[in-house]
């Protein structure tokens, strides 16, 4: 045991490659057919291996899905971070809408992966804690925008009823102790509402209702940003 260093034997390198190949093929099937039709046997078949061999790499279908979920969160998180960096010198509200549009663009480009992470959780499946860091990335970008606004041009005041103050302060301590608790609370709500907009567009709820969805989305998320105190 105690095999430590980076340059492992051919065995270990092969394992990494095969694992990646399985995930790639699985992602391809996911994009083509959706999570429910992702079949271990079909993945193995496509890779020219027998289905049981695949269990050497992923102990179950759910574990494969978990790997794909983490990748999807990371992919979306990267997109949000990239969108943020691309408009680094704009005002807070512009940065906010840019990040939101990055999220929407990613979702439209990867509908099945979006459904995997923000749609209904698959069967009895419940995401393990492993996914938490990747899942947090979009939220962290949004917090970053509020923070920069707070330290820079400032935030407008948003109301917070007293009955919610204990919970608001709990959340603030957890998420961003350096920010006004009103802004943090509004941010959490806006975060959820953002994905309501994206989900409704993606899952067909806007069919026959909203046509010019890009413009509608831009307007709606600008409203969200203002609700958080950005300007």
Partner DNA sequence: TCATTGTGTGAGCACTGCTCTCGCTTGAGA
Partner DNA sequence: TCTCAAGCGAGAGCAGTGCTCACACAATGA
List residues near a second copy by CB under 8 A: 33-37, 115-116, 118-124, 126-127, 132, 160-161, 163-164, 166-167, 170-171, 174-175, 185-186, 188-189, 191-197, 199-201, 203-206, 208-212, 215-216, 219-220, 223-224, 227
Please, which residue, 87 or 175, has the CB nearer to a second copy? Answer: 175
> What's the CA gap between 177 and 47, in Å, rounded?
49
- Residue 209's Cβ-count burial label (10 Å; 0-12, 13-18, 19+) is exposed
Location of structure tokens 């990267």: 78
| Out of 24, 33, 56, 219, the residue judged to bind DNA by CB under 7 A | 56
Identify whether the C-beta of residue 58 lies closer than 8 Å to the C-beta of residue 22: yes
Name which of DNA, a second copy, none residue 197 binds, using a CB cut-off of 5 to 8 Å depending on partner kind: a second copy
**Alpha helices, H only, the chain:** 10-33, 40-46, 51-54, 61-86, 92-109, 111-118, 132-151, 165-175, 181-202, 213-228
Identify whether the C-beta of residue 133 lies closer than 8 Å to the C-beta of residue 150: no
For DNA, which stretch binds (CB under 7 A), given 3-11, 92-100, 144-152, 164-172? 3-11
Name which of DNA, a second copy, none residue 206 binds, using a CB cut-off of 5 to 8 Å depending on partner kind: a second copy
Would you give the distance in Å from CA 95 to the centre of its chain? 18
Residue 126 within binding range of DNA, rule CB under 7 A: no
Would you give the distance in Å from CA 106 to the centre of its chain? 9
Name the minimum Å distance from CB 47 to DNA.
9
Name the minimum Å distance from CB 131 to DNA.
18
| Out of 20, 31, 32, 50, the residue judged to bind DNA by CB under 7 A | 50
Token pair of 95, please?
Answer: 């940065």
Site of interaction with DNA (CB under 7 A):
1-3, 8-12, 14-15, 18, 38-42, 49-53, 55-57, 59-62
């Amino acid at each position: 045991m105690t095999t430590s260093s980076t340059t492992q034997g051919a065995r270990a390198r092969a394992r990494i490659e095969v694992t990646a190949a399985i995930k790639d093929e699985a992602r391809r099937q996911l994009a083509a057919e959706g999570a429910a039709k992702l079949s271990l046997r079909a993945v193995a078949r496509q890779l020219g291996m027998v289905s049981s061999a695949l269990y050497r790499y992923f102990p179950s279908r759910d574990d494969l899905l978990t790997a794909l979920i983490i990748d999807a969160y990371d992919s979306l998180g990267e997109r949000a971070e990239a969108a943020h960096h691309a408009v680094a010198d704009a005002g807070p509200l512009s940065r906010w809408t840019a990040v939101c549009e990055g999220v929407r663009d990613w979702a439209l480009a990867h509908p099945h992966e979006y459904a995997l992470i923000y749609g209904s959780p698959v069967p009895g499946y419940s995401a393990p804690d492993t996914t938490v860091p990747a899942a947090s990335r979009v939220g962290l970008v949004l917090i970053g925008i509020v923070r920069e606004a707070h330290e820079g041009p400032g935030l407008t005041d948003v109301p917070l009823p007293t009955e919610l103050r204990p919970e608001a302060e709990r959340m603030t301590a957890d998420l961003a102790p350096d920010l006004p608790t009103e802004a943090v609370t509004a941010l959490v709500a806006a975060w959820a509402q953002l994905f309501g907009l994206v989900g409704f567009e993606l899952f067909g709820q806007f069919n026959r209702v909203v046509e010019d969805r890009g413009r509608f989305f831009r307007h709606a998320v600008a409203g969200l940003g203002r609700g958080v105190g950005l300007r």
